[in-house]
């Protein structure tokens, strides 16, 4: 587990935004991963994707690391933010915009507003 934990820590600390997901941002393998990757992509957020389906140690290790039982998992500047439901709620409330602004992560505010308008 130590090697896996080190790999996870290296990934979340050397990338501003990381999404541990099933599949890749170009080819998500589950609806929840697809939703979060889609939101980030639509908002123009540059993020590192980690396909947990390619590595069982990472798939279990990320759950242990965050003490969160599900995937996808979003990290911003080394901080665990949440899974699909939390990211969806944060997007619709504007909290995700605020988090990106507070952390200095570039994103498209107009795109975020379009998401909210489409879901109003």
The CATH number of the domain where 63 resides is what?
3.40.30.10
Q: How far apart are CA 48 and CA 41, in angstroms?
A: 11
* Structural contact between residues 44 and 38, judged by C-beta atoms closer than 8 angstroms: no
Q: What pLDDT is recorded for position 39?
A: 97
Q: How far apart are CA 93 and CA 80, in angstroms?
A: 18
Model pTM greater than 0.85? yes
The parent domain of residue 110 ranges over: 2-118
pLDDT tens track for 74-88: 999 999 999 999 999
Q: What pLDDT is recorded for position 1?
A: 54
Q: Directed axis angle between helix 109-118 and helix 95-103, to 10°?
A: 170
How many structural domains compose the chain?
A: 1
Which residues of the chain register pLDDT less than 70?
1
């Amino acid at each position: 587990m130590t090697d896996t934990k080190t790999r996870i820590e290296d990934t979340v600390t050397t990338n501003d935004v990381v999404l541990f997901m099933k599949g890749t941002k170009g080819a998500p393998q589950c609806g929840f991963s697809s939703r979060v990757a889609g939101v980030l992509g639509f908002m123009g957020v540059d993020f590192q994707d980690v396909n947990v389906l390619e590595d069982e140690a990472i798939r279990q290790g990320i759950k242990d690391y965050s003490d969160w039982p599900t995937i996808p998992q979003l990290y911003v500047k080394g901080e665990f933010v949440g899974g699909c439901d939390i990211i969806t709620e944060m997007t619709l409330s504007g909290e995700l915009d605020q988090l990106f602004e507070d952390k200095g992560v570039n994103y498209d505010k107009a795109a975020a507003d379009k998401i909210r308008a489409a879901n109003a």
